[in-house]
Every structure is written in structure tokens, then in C-alpha cells.
Amino acid sequence: MIDVKHVTKRFGEGQTAVTALRDISLTIPEGSFFTLLGPSGCGKTTLLRLIAGFELPTEGEITLDGDSIGHLAPNNRPVNTVFQSYALFPHMSVARNVGFGLEMLKRPKAEIEATIHEMLELVQLGEFASRRVDQLSGGQQQRVALARALAPRPKVLLLDEPLSALDLKLRKGMQSELKRLQNETGITFVFVTHDQSEALAMSDQIAVMSAGAVRQVGTPEEIYTAPQSRFVADFIGDTNIVSATLLGFEGDKASIRFGEGTPLTVQTASTSLKPGAVHVALRPETIDVVDEGADRALLRGAVVDSTYFGAGSQMLVRLDDGVAVLVQVATPRAIGARVGLECDTSMLHVLED
């Protein structure tokens, strides 16, 4: 649905210019829930504004459904935006808010009324049509904003951190609601967030961004289980970054060794890395705690902390080389105990720095 082709965006000129996006290229599939994920200042909202037409690229091109949209004003693009602030009209009823965009498009009255009814049923607010929006909860106002954005039936719906103002329980509920709406309408959703768990729960595909660049694009499972860089591994969920020695490659896999241990064959995103010191990602839930002397122990160290979190515990193990490793376990060992750490080698990934 959307192709971003070598897009760069700079604000200002000369030595004071700030580059917000650096030669970004990516494709957003039609009918997908696509998330732009990254820390504050990474450029994700700038990219969303370029798609919406609120900003223009300094270099590069954006096409929508095969057509270049760089020359189109925001109101002439087949997209709608849901903002973080909702931007509802407090003096209007829910129904008037939903129908406002259709009125501006001068749609027939009968069509407007039918669409308002359809959209309010879609977001499960049919009984609130005559209520003022300032009489609604935050979650209900969010659904009104969604209904208003969906009413003109855009090809693409852009969502700029729309759940950030909601409390945790409402956020969880709205995550399911957004995914349901996307599935039912078939509209391409482009969602901006800095919340990793939110992105993993809702998305068909995720583009992880940092410092104005796209670091990795993939499904939630690919992003989580097969990070390509240290930044992505560290940014998405809890992870451990452990030093190892790269010995070489066996086809599309890497041969590594922890300390003076036995060589292991593990996953890697790149076969262009040079032998020598590398970093390896280990997720806490993929590590098993074994006796220090067990042959299958890849790493060894001492337990220095333990935290109970309901479904289990997290232990912090200080390895013999000084690196601290977080491990998720059902039953923790005593603080000070010497332990070995085992991990399925298929879950280990050599990272590009």
C-alpha cells in the first residue's frame, strides 16, 4: 500500500540543519497492521507526518497504492490520522463528531447518517450517539476518534501514539479493540509507538527505528527472537548481551565459543562479520539454570539477586567475566549459589553492532 523510497528529512538549513530521517526505504503491505517502533526522537512520528502530508520529504519519494503523493495536500490524500490528543470537538455530540469529516466532504445526509450508525456500531458506541464527548471516559473518547477517522473509509489510517494517555488496563483493552477494527475493516493501519509490548501484541509487521534510520523490519516473532543488531535486541523486551568469540561460519550460521568452552553453532543475521570478539543475545526465558559442574552449562557464575514477580522469579547471575545475566525461573537458587547456565543454541543470535 505504501512505499517509502530513499526518504531523507531535514529541518532547517546549513550547519544548524537537523536530519530527522536518513535515507529510509520500506514497504507497508496493503491491509496490514504496521507499526513504527522506537525511542523518542528516532523519527517515527516524522515519517508518519510525511505520509500524512503535514511535512514534505527533503529527498526521496512516498507512493500510496502505486501513485506518488508528494504533490497532494493532506486533505487530498486517501489517509486519515488519529492523534495522541484525539482532537475531538467537546461541544458536539458523539454522532456529530463522527460525521464531521463527512459533512466537510459534502456527502449526502442519508449517507452521513448511515455511516455514523455503522461506525458507532463498529466501535461499540451505538448507545452513546447523542452524548457529548466531554461526558465520556478516555477509552470511549479514543473510540470516537477512531470512528471519526474511519468514517470516510480511507485507504490508510495513521495512528500517532493514540493510547499513550490511557491507563494500563484501558491500553490493554484498546490494543485488542484496534486489532479487531483493523481486521474487520481491512484498512491498512500505520501505528506509531515507543511501547515494545504494545507493538509485539498488535502488529503484523514492525519497523524498529533509531536515530532516523530503520534498523530492522519483520514480524513480531522475527523481531523478538531473531534481532539483527545489538540495538534491536536491547530495545525489544528483556535481553542479555554476552561477549563471545566468533570462530567462523558454517553455511548461514556462526561458530562461536564462550570463554574457553566448546565451539557452538548459532544463528546470525550476517555472515560478513569478521572472526574475533562479538556479542550474542540471550533472552531470559530461554535460559535454564543447571549445576555449575554440568557438562551442558555454557556459562557459569554466582546468583547475586532474585526478584519474585508472580508467575515466577527473575535471578541475576554474575558471570565469571563480570557480566550480569538475567534469568527467568520457576524456582530461584539462593543468593551466592554457584550455578551453570544452559541455553538452546537455536535461540542464540550473534549480533551486528
Q: What is the pTM of this model?
A: 0.86
Strand partners, 287: 343
Distance CA 333, CA 257 (A): 26
Question: Residue 169 has what pLDDT?
Answer: 78
Other CB atoms within a 10 A radius of the CB of residue 160 amount to: 20
Nearest 5°: the CA angle 174, 175, 176 is 90
Question: Who's near 222: CB < 8 A, 6+ residues apart?
Answer: none
Q: CA 99 from chain center: how many Å?
A: 31
CA within 13 Å, CB half, 104:
12
pLDDT by 10s per residue, the chain, length 353: 999 999 999 999 888 999 999 999 999 999 999 999 999 999 999 999 999 999 999 999 999 999 999 889 998 899 998 887 778 888 889 999 999 889 888 899 999 999 999 889 888 888 899 998 888 888 888 888 888 888 888 999 999 988 877 777 778 888 888 898 899 889 999 999 999 999 999 999 999 999 999 999 999 999 998 888 889 998 998 899 988 899 998 888 889 998 888 888 888 877 788 899 999 999 999 999 999 989 888 899 999 999 988 878 999 999 988 889 999 998 889 999 999 999 888 888 888 87
Q: Which three cell numbers stand for residue 326?
A: 538475567
Q: Which three cell numbers stand for residue 273?
A: 562479520
Question: Residue 56 has what pLDDT?
Answer: 93
Q: Which three cell numbers stand for residue 178?
A: 484496534
DSSP string, 151-163: TT--SEEEEESTT
Enumerate helices (H) and strands (E) in the chain, giving the number of each: 8, 20
